[in-house]
Structure 1
Amino acid sequence: MSLSSHAWIFLGAGLLVALVAVPLILKKVPMNRWYGVRFPQSYRSDRLWYEINRHGGGYLLGTSLAWMTYGVCGLVEPGIWNENAPRYAFFGMVVMVVSTVAGTIASYLKARQLASSAIE
């Protein structure tokens, strides 16, 4: 697979994740078991669900921007990788994993903070 093919995959995956994040940020997703930030704190009340998902959606959007930025870098400056598609793909996976783990941890910490300050 070529470097530009990998770059398009990172760009497309980032765009798809951004599209998933926007309804969460806009508080358009009601409480459910399938879609959203589903920590135990999220299910304590509708208010907590929407607030936790708003913040989680923001972190998810940040994650998607990291993925898209990496994809654009592969398309705009392929020379920095010396046309080394496997290395580009490996570092792309690192970007995806690190940004996803960081966003998940930040979402969890925010959910705990919101739940502990909530008066139910």
Structure 2
Amino acid sequence: MLNISMAIYNIASGLLFVGISIPLYKERIKMNYLYGVRFSQSFKSDENWYKINKYGAKRMMIWSIPLFIIGVIILFLPPLNEFWMILSLLSPCIVVIPAIESYLFSKKI
């Protein structure tokens, strides 16, 4: 049962992050303080806002793929395979990677 819960958690998280990223990638979200990649450089101009958010959304979508794949793999493993369970517990940390990449990108603008 724990396997299925962890699999659903990872699959849902991957899909959620992609869903949240799509409007940002398509430049449909105007500058705001609640939703988007919000670094000080993002707020300097509309051009920066869209450029940084598009980059951040793309990176988030890319890094959501391993999260989704981990969930699918866990569905088909024998219950409590320790390696995949540990990986599954660490997988939410994957969202930190695109945040760091976006921050470094914002510093280049």
Fold match (TM-score > 0.5) = yes
Q: CA deviation at 1:90?
A: 3.0
Give 2:34's aligned amino acid. Answer: W
65-74 vs 33-42, which moves further: 65-74
Unaligned runs of 5+ in 2: none
C-alpha distance after superposition, 1:22-64 (max 9, x if no partner):
1111111100000000000000000000000000001111222
Could you tell me how far apart the structure 2 residues matched to 1:88 and 1:78 are?
A: 8
Give 1:26's aligned amino acid. Answer: K
What residue in structure 1 maps to residue 100 of structure 2?
105
What residue in structure 2 maps to residue 118 of structure 1?
none
Unaligned runs of 5+ in 1: 115-120
Could you tell me how far apart the structure 1 residues matched to 2:95 and 2:16 are?
A: 14
Alignment root-mean-square deviation, CA: 1.6
Identity of aligned residues (%): 30
Q: CA deviation at 1:87?
A: 5.7
Q: How does 1:1-120 map to 2 (within 5 A)?
A: 1-75=1-75, 77-79=76-78, 83-84=79-80, 88-97=84-93, 99-114=94-109
Give 2:77's aligned amino acid. Answer: P
Q: If you compute each CA radius of gyration, which structure gives the higher value, 1 or 2?
A: 1
Give 2:98's aligned amino acid. Answer: G
State whether residues 6 and 85 of structure 1, in contact with CA within 8 Å, keep that contact through their aligned partners in structure 2: no
C-alpha distance after superposition, 1:73-97 (max 9, x if no partner):
112x313xxx116764432132221
State whether residues 3 and 88 of structure 1, in contact with CA within 8 Å, keep that contact through their aligned partners in structure 2: no
